[in-house]
Structure 1
């Protein structure tokens, strides 16, 4: 859930009215820091990771390719919220370098990797009005769209870029709108993060262009997650095999699947004016922000606490506050980082502490919480 919480218009009155208020067991769910201090803290957090940047290939020492794209997202979002252009050159140069090296931002053959970077490009467009960034986002969206199951594909049991018969329905629901994880002829997995990223970028492009092609794409993919990928507890599941109709283990629950979907639903609700998306967003947010799957009774996120080595779970942890704009949920994570996990301006990936020496992945995990806090609470 953390990602770009700053951009989601999730009002606390919606979330917490449904969820019956903040648990009294949550640790320090208030934030009295003034806006200038919150901006300064976020800026210091970004500046502490920047020395790890290798400008020759837009990578960051110590983290992987898709994770690096999200550092650029955090910088663009900082400028968007703080009303500055401090990181514009770094962001645009990094995006341009990655796009030139890897066609449609696809380095390793994963559509979600490409979409993380494309989303960063969209945030750069929003922050700086850079048309080249918008073009990169749009080109990548077009590429990934080739791996979406259309209504016609679901009806025919075929997909033009796959060499196997696809399942038109799984678990009694249409597979239309699902986005294949890999742009290979034999890749069968359709997962929530690739589809959620597609929902979100489609909705943003619809909002920017007014083009119904993007709106309809966002709706269809949002429906796929809604119909197939939400468990009885309101948490978004991970993967469905598009050939065999098997599902990843029910225990494979990650904050970013719910978080990215929440962001997409928020934008889609604005684009369409359809209150049903707001209702769904509120229901999922109410479940996700209090899930014991990834947080303790004190409300602090425990997912991805990995002080000694980077792994995907640390990257997933970034998305633990997606639903947190202007809510106490981000304050819990924010205060934990500043009071339990900080070593100067660097942070452990274990938000309950103790502090440790700088790691790139620990800093990555903290970025969105710190940037989100700019837009959390009153100045």
Structure 2
């Protein structure tokens, strides 16, 4: 199997990742469904469409409840199916109603829907060629009045479903065959009856044998009449590939058959990169059914994604191919009723159209099951749709629901077999720059905090050094200080040692210490301790330049001069000293000696 150039869609990337919240996606789809319900007539039909379109809408109501785990539309669907049978007992174009009934049964497990689905299957099966019919050369049911072609290009015609009930119409159609294949697969998954799986596989084999072209695109149309040409319809329509993808996804989910999975992967790769129904802008422009999009391709890709029926890289690419993020102003009405849609390629809806609305709903409902992306855009391949919230109700920036895929020239390629989804470098660079900026700011803040912390430690250390040192005035000669007034402390023991940390000199006594220019005073450097007159670094330098003998520390002092002074003060009976009376001489000291 060859590789597919996913990266060829690089210039289409416009917010491909699913970042809109699940709640907003649910509200967005519900609003469109509710608006559509308002246009359903009393007979359960749309006034502007044929009998087929309401069946498409019924299946979307059931799919919405399945995606949200609710029963919101169960009763409405019961009523709609009852009304539909009053118009046509066996349903005109029954496969669409069978599909809707099967979806409803999967969602609600209500037997009434299973009964409808099986009834439709029984009718369609009568118009589907079995191998017994081919071997007999005539349809056993007698519903067709001509001889059957047994083969075309050497391949059996078994598995093809006639497009109409007209007895002479020999055309085997893509829509009827694809829808019967899907209905059979859904019933096989719901009931586990072998006949449904066998029928689904036979229909898929017919499509693969007769309609799969060399580019892995499904074709359409062939005659079942004997001796007729085996020519096919030349027009390429996305719904043919979409129906084959959906039926295969269900069968792969049931059987895990590797050959079926390989075929499914090839079909998906071809469908999402084909230029047959999408332009360079990546938008499906198919208008075969008068609608600028395709329900069947949306359903098929959704089934492959939900059932995890293909490779992980391709599954991620499917999500980005019709992601629910960026909405462009092409289809959504800009009027008062903002939940109606026009053609996917524009113009925006001016009035309600049930065909356009149900085509858009195919993607809106399918997007509910997509996993959210938490990273910036990683796929360079998709134009997608999205929401912006305004108040309590999410409002789309536009209603355009897009599929993207048209290839453009590029030198890079990506295979679905690779282990990673494609990533645009521009988004990574943006995220990287933001990370670098945040990291730089954090580093700068931490650096400033560290510097402040270190500076504070250094400053405190300086203060502690200053508080532990007794500084001396500049002259080296020390003259005994004069005391203007002092009273002994009766609680002071005679053996108390002098220390700058235990001194009982009062603040008043300290303030009374005076000295003349000729008699410098030895004192605590309280001014420098409490309010430094120079920066800490300058003080440290000044202290370092002083001689060690200029520092008075407790270890250098002697207790004897203190005892002499204390005893002399007691003899004076605490009287006030005369101004010219000097204190007693201290034994072992001379003027200018450091204590």
TM beyond 0.5: yes
**Kept after mapping to 2: 8 A contact 1:171/1:245:** no
Which residue of structure 1 aligns with residue 215 of structure 2? 233
Aligned-pair RMSD on alpha carbons? 2.1
Which residue of structure 2 aligns with residue 104 of structure 1? 90
For residues 271-297 of structure 1, give each alpha carbon's deviation from its aligned partner in whole angstroms, at most 9, with x where no partner exists: 223121111111001001111111111
**Kept after mapping to 2: 8 A contact 1:67/1:315:** no
Task: Describe the shift of the 1:150–1:140 C-alpha distance in structure 2 as closer, same or farther (beyond 3 A).
Answer: same
Tell me the distance in 2 between the aligned counterparts of 1:86 and 1:259.
Answer: 28
**Kept after mapping to 1: 8 A contact 2:59/2:103:** yes
**Kept after mapping to 2: 8 A contact 1:177/1:217:** yes
For residues 54-106 of structure 1, give each alpha carbon's deviation from its aligned partner in whole angstroms, at most 9, with x where no partner exists: 132x2112122111110111111011101112222222211122134312212
Q: Which of 132-141 and 143-152 deviates more?
A: 143-152
Which residue of structure 1 aligns with residue 40 of structure 2? 53
What stretches of structure 2 of length at least 5 have no aligned partner? 306-317, 374-595
Asked if 1:373 corresponds to 2:363, the answer is no
Task: Describe the shift of the 1:315–1:134 C-alpha distance in structure 2 as closer, same or farther (beyond 3 A).
Answer: farther
* 1:340-379 equivalent positions in 2, closer than 5 A: 340-343=330-333, 344-349=338-343, 351-360=344-353, 361-378=355-372
Tell me the distance in 1 between the aligned counterparts of 2:268 and 2:139.
Answer: 33
Q: Which of 241-250 and 280-289 deviates more?
A: 241-250
* 1:82-161 equivalent positions in 2, closer than 5 A: 82-106=68-92, 113-160=93-140, 161=143
**Kept after mapping to 2: 8 A contact 1:122/1:133:** yes
Which residue of structure 2 aligns with residue 37 of structure 1? 24
Tell me the distance in 1 between the aligned counterparts of 2:293 and 2:81.
Answer: 21
**Kept after mapping to 2: 8 A contact 1:45/1:345:** yes
Report deviation, 1:323.
1.5
1:104 is paired with a residue whose SS is coil
2:301 is paired with a residue whose SS is coil
Tell me the distance in 1 between the aligned counterparts of 2:249 and 2:103.
Answer: 16
1:331 is paired with a residue whose SS is coil
Tell me the distance in 2 between the aligned counterparts of 1:175 and 1:188.
Answer: 12
Tell me the distance in 2 between the aligned counterparts of 1:199 and 1:354.
Answer: 34
Which residue of structure 1 aligns with residue 463 of structure 2? none
Which residue of structure 2 aligns with residue 81 of structure 1? 67
Tell me the distance in 2 between the aligned counterparts of 1:101 and 1:121.
Answer: 16
Asked if 1:312 corresponds to 2:294, the answer is no
Which residue of structure 1 aligns with residue 233 of structure 2? 249
Instruction: Answer 1 or 2: which has greater helix percent.
Output: 1
Report deviation, 1:315.
8.3
Which residue of structure 2 aligns with residue 21 of structure 1? 6
Tell me the distance in 1 between the aligned counterparts of 2:231 and 2:115.
Answer: 35
Which residue of structure 1 aligns with residue 301 of structure 2? 323
Report deviation, 1:129.
1.4
Report deviation, 1:171.
2.0
Pairing partner for 1:294 from 277, 280, 297:
277
* 1:151-190 equivalent positions in 2, closer than 5 A: 151-160=131-140, 161-190=143-172
For residues 100-144 of structure 1, give each alpha carbon's deviation from its aligned partner in whole angstroms, at most 9, with x where no partner exists: 4312212xxxxxx20011100011111111110110000110111
Report deviation, 1:192.
1.8
Which residue of structure 2 aligns with residue 270 of structure 1? 253
Tell me the distance in 1 between the aligned counterparts of 2:52 and 2:258.
Answer: 33
What stretches of structure 1 of length at least 5 have no aligned partner? 1-13, 107-112, 305-310
1:342 is paired with a residue whose SS is coil
Structure of greater Rg: 2
Report deviation, 1:318.
2.1
Which residue of structure 2 aligns with residue 7 of structure 1? none
